Amino acid sequence: MPKFHTTNPYSCSYLPDRLACSEIATPEHLIDTKAYGKLVQAGFRRSGHYIYRPCCEHCQACQSVRVTVKTFTSKRAQRRAWKLHQNLVVTQHPLHYKPEHYALYQRYQSKRHLGGGMDNDCREQYHNFLLQSYVNSRLVEFHEADQLRMISIIDILPDGISSVYTFFDADIAHASFGTYNILWQIEQCRQLDLDYLYLGYWIKENKKMRYKTNFQPLEVLINGRWQLPGSGNIL
């Protein structure tokens, strides 16, 4: 059984001028896919081997969200993104390092998250963040002809897919790679007969997370129970 402890306060990476705390599940090497799946159902995420969920004393801005795959219906703009990228060749692999992947990651961070800290990640930081896992993880490549356009890291869980991280060629304007990627993950859930796509945390005040609400129905973990938000809830 996992053991849990709480971190000391640290600077929040999502909201400025706030402190955050996390609840950590240990020991990581004994948390297999089945155990991790239960933790994800309880609002945990992972960054490499680090398994955590927010437990901030005076803030509940981080809300765990998941798409209910079997009732998901795409919108017109999403269908356009899906059609636009039907020429992408998708291949799934175990987690592994390639200079080409790291170069794409660096370009993505400098274009989309300049000054956010991750734009200066060295190779070791990249490896620790994305290429370490004790669960059933996959690295998914998306190629257009011979060009690498996107990488997605996913975890295959007993009841769904957990979307760990995605980065893509951000130099191509209006490509909607991110939208296509979530649609691809939803389709993967369907092919594997899985019920949910876990999208991590949604924060109302964080503009970069607003895209998650475009994928409906979107369940939210509220007071330990997954539910569709009503008019009085967060979305």
21 domain-assigned: yes
The span from the CA of 69 to the CA of 218, in Å, is 9
172 domain-assigned: no
Closest CA to 24 of 40, 42, 2: 2
Q: One-letter amino acid identity for 223?
A: N
Report the chain's C-alpha Rg in angstroms: 17
**Count of domains forming the chain:** 1
Question: Is residue 233 very low, low, confident or very high in pLDDT (cuts 50, 70, 90)?
Answer: low
Q: How many CA atoms lie within 13 A of 62 on its CB side?
A: 22
What predicted TM-score, i.e. pTM, was given to this entire model? Answer: 0.94
46 domain-assigned: yes
Please write the tens of the pLDDT for every residue from 122-161.
Answer: 999 999 999 999 999 999 999 999 999 999 999 999 999 9
Please write the tens of the pLDDT for every residue from 157-188.
Answer: 999 999 999 999 999 988 999 999 999 999 99
What is the tally of helices (H) and strands (E) in the chain? 5, 14
| Start-end of H helices in the chain | 33-41, 76-84, 99-112, 123-130, 177-191
100 domain-assigned: no
